[in-house]
């Protein structure tokens, strides 16, 4: 076989791999629809498992597992194994909802004027924030495009995903409590800094202290990196930041999935006594963290401990030299230390953000929450995790937009999440049932919809609605949430208070909302001081970048400002604690040995597989805060206001643009065929023009198509700005 044939074969294999992944996703979707239909027909009073099984192409045992009531002999054991308190997905018994009140609209919809706002090229785009680690790719650069596939749309035929409901009566009321002896408190210790070196895995350049050497990394395995680095760096080094090269992707072509390649790199044998770290300190995670693009490898050798991780967790290095990146971290530390004298920059922005937030907690005796912010019950935290999405990602295709786009403009909200931290829900929530909501006056109803809340609602879209959707709807598949827009459609969902408020007050036409159930919190400011301090540091660094005298210093300041943004972004995401899932097995007939709170997952022959979802006792678990910020940011993407230079408010957002002009939505960015005349002051929440495709183009039908247009638009605008700067 010739080299060209080998390369062609690899390309064909990658194509087959992608097709298999699509087929597997489609199969999972069909299996989900089948299982839901089994559960539905099993509700028939005379249903029999031996009749359903051949029709579904499954065994009688499978049918009984999905519908335990069809097997009287084992139903008692199945019920005893069901979670007693977990917010299980159960068929919702629809009740009459309480109609939300009419509310004054935000502003009349006005088509925008097409002018170009003044640019600030140093402001960066927001990106999705997950609990502990950054997403697969930063949004301020086009992520690695996924395999071409039709973009998910808000079609009525997308398979819905069942969401949890709160049980009726005392069982559900018991959820509305706080976890005993668990609260967020100010730390009584100072973090210990870790000696860090910076390594460019492409060039082999290693920077430690004031020394720079060029290493031979060989194949850049973990073992080769550890050996090469510690041939020069002090043995006290505890962190190796990779600035370029992503060595964990070196064998990506050999594996069907990128995560498999990363796992193989992390688990490969290491020489000279190194082994995977097993334990270290009460506040330190041991072992590797497997992530497709930003993994963390942790090793130990005797009393020596070290971790290898990517600076891409903090910002996109964008080809910067290893010395520039180290300088950015120095500038970051200086800016934050002026605000937090006991600052220690930790391994990730999420960890750093959590630590800095803890150091803003009240300690004055008698102050509200001086004893710490209580953590909610496991059940409510699991409910929020299951019913709260994060960033809105949507590609809108013809016929909702023209086949030929006249132009495309990218508008990005600067430091968007920082705009929505001024108030949050604190303490144990109050339950607001439909009956309780209906008993209140219209003023009381309106007031609570402005407070921190999370609501289960029945939504009816106006018959003649012709704009983008407002409220999320859960669906099967990777997309997880879509935004229905079809006029006259009715659906049931969970949504944050900010989005419910917007649906009732939006500038186009109010939606009909019926309250079915809800959580209502006391308003507090647990994130305000922390957020304000971070925004101050961000503004200082961003301003310094604009006036820096040389390119290296300007880049270092810009990267440092992006790192502050990541601390804020991932710090907020860090409050959204994810539940842990454990599994185990017992022999058939020994179901009484299944742990409390577990459920039977499958029965394979004589073996019963169980699964249990649990929430760790984390004193900083506050999904109500992250969910509230995300909800407010999604609502503001559709409608918010910004002050102009004259001090007057201008209403901005997708719903203030013409219907049919929105091509895509990405967390905090809009892509539209018209260019609005929206003020830009460089403040958090302002919309910045980030890209322009000035000529007609074919509307994107896939994610690949979209990212191609996004890249073209950013390149065109950058070229225009460079030309303008050269002419000054």
| pLDDT per position as a tens digit, 375-421 | 999 999 999 999 998 999 999 999 999 999 999 999 999 999 999 99
Of all residues in the chain, what percent carry a pLDDT higher than 90? 58
Digit-coded pLDDT (tens) for 324-343: 999 999 999 999 999 999 99
pLDDT tens profile 198-216: 999 999 999 998 899 999 9
Q: Tell me what pLDDT residue 581 has.
A: 65
Q: Residues 557-568: what's their mean pLDDT?
A: 97
Q: Tell which wins on pLDDT, 450 or 728.
A: 450
C-alpha 112/C-alpha 409 separation (Å) is 13
pLDDT at 451 over 60: yes
For residue 549, name the pLDDT band (cuts at 50, 70, 90). Answer: confident
Whether omega for the bond prior to residue 166 falls within 30 degrees of 0, making it cis, is no
Three-state secondary structure call for residue 143: coil
166 CB-near residues (< 8 Å, 6+ apart): 87, 172, 175, 383, 431, 456, 517
Instruction: Give the span between the Cα atoms of 130 and 573, in whole angstroms.
Output: 5
234: tokens are: 């002090």
* CA angle in degrees (0–180, nearest 5) for 156-158-164: 100
Q: Which of the residue ranges 70-79, 231-240, 450-459 would you say has the lowest mean pLDDT?
A: 70-79
Report d(CA 416, CA 562) in Å as an integer. 13
Strand segments (E) across 432-575: 453-460, 473-474, 481-482, 490-496, 512-524
Name the token pair of 13.
């294999």
Partners of 719 in the beta sheet?
none
Give a three-class secondary structure readout of 623-681.
Answer: HHHHHHHHHHHHHHHHCEEEECCCCCEEEECHHHCCCCCEEEEECCEEEECCCCCCCCC
Q: Stretch 424-430: mean pLDDT, rounded?
A: 95
- Under the banding of pLDDT at 50, 70 and 90, the label for residue 76 is very low
Instruction: Name the average pLDDT for the chain.
Output: 84
Q: Quote the CA–CA distance of 499 and 387 in Å, as a whole number.
A: 14
The phi-psi region of residue 220 (left if phi > 0; otherwise alpha if psi is between -120 and 50; otherwise beta) is: left
Please give the structure tokens belonging to residue 529.
Answer: 């001081």
Q: 96-100, 208-212, 429-433 — which is least confidently predicted?
A: 96-100
pLDDT at 286 (0 to 100): 65
CA nearest to 59, candidates 44, 72, 70: 70
Between the alpha carbon of residue 574 and those of residues 129, 349, 372, 632, the distances in Å are: 8, 10, 18, 17
- Looking at the predicted structure, is the pLDDT value of residue 320 above 90? yes
pLDDT computed for residue 696 by the predictor: 96
Selection from 98, 99, 107, 112 nearest residue 505 by Cα: 107
| Residues pairing with 664 in the sheet | 395, 671
From residue 350, alpha-carbon distances to 197, 361, 458, 576, 711 in Å are: 20, 17, 35, 11, 28
Burial class (CB in 10 A: 0-12, 13-18, 19+), 621: buried
Quote the pLDDT of residue 73: 39
Q: How many other C-beta atoms lie within 10 A of the C-beta of residue 303?
A: 6
Does residue 79 carry a pLDDT above 80?
Answer: no
- What are the C-alpha distances in Å from 672 to residues 194, 470, 486, 693, 699? 46, 17, 20, 10, 11
- What is the pTM (predicted TM-score) of this model? 0.77
Q: How far apart are CA 342 and CA 355, in angstroms?
A: 10
CA distance 663 to 671: 5
Number of residues written out for the chain: 728
* Cα–Cα dist 700/151, whole Å: 9
């Amino acid at each position: 076989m010739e080299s060209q044939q080998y390369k062609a074969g690899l390309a064909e294999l990658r194509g087959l791999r992608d097709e298999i992944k699509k087929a597997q996703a489609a199969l999972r979707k069909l299996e989900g629809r089948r299982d839901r239909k089994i559960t539905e027909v099993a509700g028939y009073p005379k249903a029999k498992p031996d009749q359903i099984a051949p029709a579904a192409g499954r065994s009688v045992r499978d049918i009984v597992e999905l519908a335990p009531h069809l097997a009287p002999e084992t139903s008692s054991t199945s019920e005893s194994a069901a979670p007693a308190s977990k917010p299980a997905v159960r068929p919702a018994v629809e009740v009459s909802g309480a109609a939300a009140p009419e509310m004054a609209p935000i502003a009349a919809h006005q088509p925008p004027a097409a002018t170009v706002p003044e640019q600030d090229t140093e402001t960066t785009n927001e990106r999705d924030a997950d609990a502990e680690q950054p997403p697969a790719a930063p949004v301020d650069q086009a992520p690695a495009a996924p395999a071409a596939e039709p973009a998910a749309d808000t079609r009525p035929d997308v398979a819905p995903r069942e969401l949890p409901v709160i049980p009726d009566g005392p069982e559900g009321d018991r959820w509305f409590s706080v976890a005993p002896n668990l609260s967020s408190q100010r730390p009584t210790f100072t973090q210990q800094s870790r000696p860090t070196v910076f390594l460019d895995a492409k060039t082999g350049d290693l920077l430690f202290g004031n020394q720079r050497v060029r290493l031979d990394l060989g194949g850049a395995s973990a073992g080769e990196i550890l050996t090469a680095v510690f041939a020069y760096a002090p043995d006290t080094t505890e962190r190796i930041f990779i600035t370029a090269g992503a060595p964990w992707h070196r064998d990506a072509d050999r594996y069907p999935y990128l995560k498999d390649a990363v796992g193989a790199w992390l688990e490969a044998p290491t020489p000279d006594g190194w082994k995977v770290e097993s334990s270290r300190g009460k506040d330190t995670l041991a072992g590797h963290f497997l992530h497709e693009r930003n993994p963390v490898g942790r090793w130990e050798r005797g009393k020596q401990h070290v971790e290898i991780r990517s600076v891409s967790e903090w910002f996109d290095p964008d080809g910067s030299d290893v010395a520039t990146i180290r300088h950015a971290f120095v500038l970051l530390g200086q800016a934050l230390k002026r605000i937090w004298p006991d600052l220690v920059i930790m391994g990730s922005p999420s960890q750093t953000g959590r630590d800095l937030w803890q150091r803003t907690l009240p300690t004055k005796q008698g102050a509200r929450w001086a004893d710490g912010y209580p953590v909610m019950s496991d059940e409510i935290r699991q409910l929020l995790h299951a019913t709260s999405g994060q960033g809105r990602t949507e590609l809108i295709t013809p016929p909702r937009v023209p086949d030929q786009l006249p132009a495309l403009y990218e508008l990005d909200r600067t430091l968007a999440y920082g705009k929505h931290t001024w108030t949050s829900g604190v303490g144990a929530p109050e339950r607001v049932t439909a009956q309780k909501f209906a008993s209140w006056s219209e003023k009381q109803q309106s007031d609570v919809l402005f407070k921190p809340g999370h609501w289960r609602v029945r939504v009816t879209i106006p018959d003649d609605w012709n704009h983008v959707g407002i409220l999320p709807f859960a669906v099967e598949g990777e997309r997880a949430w879509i935004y229905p827009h079809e006029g006259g459609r009715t659906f049931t969902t969970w949504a944050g208070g900010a989005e419910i408020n917007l649906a009732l007050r939006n500038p186009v036409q109010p939606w009909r909302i019926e309250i079915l159930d809800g959580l209502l919190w006391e308003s507090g400011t647990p994130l305000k001081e922390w957020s304000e301090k971070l925004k101050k540091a961000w503004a200082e660094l961003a301003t310094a970048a604009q006036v820096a005298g040389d390119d290296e210093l300007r880049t270092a300041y810009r990267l440092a400002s992006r790192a502050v943004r990541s601390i804020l972004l991932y710090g907020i995401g860090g409050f959204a604690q994810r539940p842990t899932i454990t599994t185990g097995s017992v022999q058939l007939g020994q179901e009484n040995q299944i742990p409390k709170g577990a459920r039977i997952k499958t029965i394979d022959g004589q073996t019963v597989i169980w699964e249990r979802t649990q929430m760790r006792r984390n004193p900083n678990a506050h999904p109500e805060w992250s969910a509230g910020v995300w909800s407010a940011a999604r609502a503001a993407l559709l409608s918010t206001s910004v002050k102009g230079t004259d001090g007057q408010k201008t209403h901005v957002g997708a719903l203030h643009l013409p219907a049919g002009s929105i091509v895509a939505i990405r967390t905090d960015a809009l892509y539209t065929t018209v260019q609005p005349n929206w003020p830009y002051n460089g403040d958090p929440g302002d919309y910045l023009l980030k890209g322009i495709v000035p000529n007609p183009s074919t509307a994107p039908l896939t994610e690949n198509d979209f990212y191609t247009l996004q890249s073209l638009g950013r390149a065109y605008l950058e070229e225009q700005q460079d030309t303008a700067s050269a002419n000054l």
